[in-house]
Structure 1
Amino acid sequence: MQYNYPGCLITLEGGEGAGKSTQIAFLRDWLAARGISVICSREPGGSPGAEEIRSLLNLGELDKWDEITEAILINAARRDHVVRKIRPALMRGDWVVCDRFLDSTLVYQGAGSGIPLDILRTLINMAVEGLRPDLTLILYIDPLIGLKRIKRRKSKKTRFDRRDSAFHARVANGFFNLAMTEPERCALIDATQSPKRVAMEISSVVSNLLKNKIKYKN
């Protein structure tokens, strides 16, 4: 069952190096300038318990866990995130802008790691209990370009950053296929453009969502 909340959930998805953090900051300010109460979050993480699991997931050797264990941990973090932060915010009428959500699991652990989608959907449904994004912005980038971007970062590379190029290619294809499969929810944005141009495209898409929300309330 999918629930309707007075708030709105926007998720940003994409491969490594797509520029999600930059665009989330822009979108937060853009919405706030229009009088909308905005909360930004991320996955894995977003709540104290989920952040602890994030540390476990991001650090260590690539084969630290098998794929199923990794998927279970991600959805355990998601459950805590939804219960303690996302759902209460949406019930208050806040807009939540989240860096990754359930689609990353379907793409990274599904298309990327080969876990059957029915297994992943079962785990996701247990974690979110019908919660789905109102809008998903997919920042699409050639994985080779994305990997070059993250190599320039000064922060320590995560376990996901360090996966091989074939994995990242499967992830990129997975996000593209998702956008083609669910065009009513997902907007595909070319993330190789300048940050300003990407932000303009995002604001155009979100403007339509905002208009529909206001129309629905009235």
Structure 2
Amino acid sequence: MSRLPFITFEGSEGSGKSTQVKKLATRFQQMGVPCLVTREPGGTPIGETIRELLQFAPHNAGMTPETELLLFEASRSQLVRETIKPALERGVCVIADRFFDSTTVYQGVARKLDRQIVERLNTFAIGDCVPDITFVLDIDAATACSRMQEPRRTDRMEQQPVEFYQRVREAYRKLAARAPNRIVLIDGLRDADRIEKEILGIVSSRFPRLASEAKSKIENRKSKI
């Protein structure tokens, strides 16, 4: 692979994926690796407007699964073309908090929409922009629900019954089994620092160019001193 990687993080609400996104991005910054962090839904002005509608708008309680699906895909299409692909073409590593696997799991399985339609819409939205590696933070449904009880601003997706998150977990595990070369299942019940260490080890071994990029940045800085 001639460019820096496109890395995505997945998992149910409360899995700790967003924490690991921040940790990996911080580590890359310390290494001098150019890195862009983004999220779904969101990541662009249009996407952030869609995010607010999907998650927090007072009138979204009656949103149908079909409408939800199309809004996620609209946000994703804009994100890919406005942010992700241009960053990768500039030689920047991209880390995304959720991507198309979330739609496969949440809308295709948990919401029980037609999976072929979901897959076609995913393909239409992302084109050839497929992640190089995806980390799925795996936790049981009871733990997910417990973590979501912590005081904070909750969104519509965090107000589902425990059975919903059971379907989410099972779907992610099946995805990982079907795409073992891309998707890595990570035990999300462990200490966040231990999880970070495992993820960094996998990334370093899978993408040796990251190490050479960091070394080059360090040498350039030294030469300017």
* TM-score normalised by structure 2 residue count: 0.89
- Does the Cα contact within 8 Å between 1:16 and 1:143 map onto a contact in 2? no
Which amino acid counterpart does residue 76 of structure 1 have in structure 2? Answer: A
Say whether residues 1:20 and 2:24 are aligned partners. Answer: no
| Corresponding position of 2:105 | 107
| Corresponding position of 2:81 | 83
- Does the Cα contact within 8 Å between 1:140 and 1:189 map onto a contact in 2? yes
- Does the Cα contact within 8 Å between 2:188 and 2:195 map onto a contact in 1? yes
| Corresponding position of 1:191 | 188
The partner residue of 2:205 within 194, 205, 208 is: 208
Q: Which sections of structure 2, spanning at least 5 residues, go unmatched? A: 213-225
Q: 1:101 to 1:24 in 2, by over 3 A?
A: same
Q: 1:44 to 1:164 in 2, by over 3 A?
A: same
- Does the Cα contact within 8 Å between 1:134 and 1:185 map onto a contact in 2? yes
Say whether residues 1:97 and 2:95 are aligned partners. Answer: yes
The partner residue of 2:54 within 42, 46, 57 is: 57
SS for the counterpart of 1:118 is helix
Distance in 2 separating the partners of 1:38 and 1:213: 11
1:1-31 Cα shifts (integer Å, max 9, x gaps): xxx7723210000011011121111101222
Which amino acid counterpart does residue 172 of structure 1 have in structure 2? Answer: R
Distance in 1 separating the partners of 2:193 and 2:71: 35
Q: 1:7 to 1:212 in 2, by over 3 A?
A: closer
Which amino acid counterpart does residue 180 of structure 2 have in structure 1? Answer: P
* TM-score normalised by structure 1 residue count: 0.92
Which amino acid counterpart does residue 116 of structure 2 have in structure 1? Answer: D
Which amino acid counterpart does residue 130 of structure 1 have in structure 2? Answer: D
Q: 1:111 to 1:188 in 2, by over 3 A?
A: same
- Does the Cα contact within 8 Å between 1:46 and 1:85 map onto a contact in 2? yes
| Corresponding position of 2:218 | none
Distance in 2 separating the partners of 1:214 and 1:204: 11
Q: What is the number of residues matched between the two proteins?
A: 211
| Corresponding position of 2:177 | 180
Highest CA radius of gyration, 1 or 2?
2
Distance in 2 separating the partners of 1:68 and 1:130: 24
Q: Which sections of structure 1, spanning at least 5 residues, go unmatched? A: none
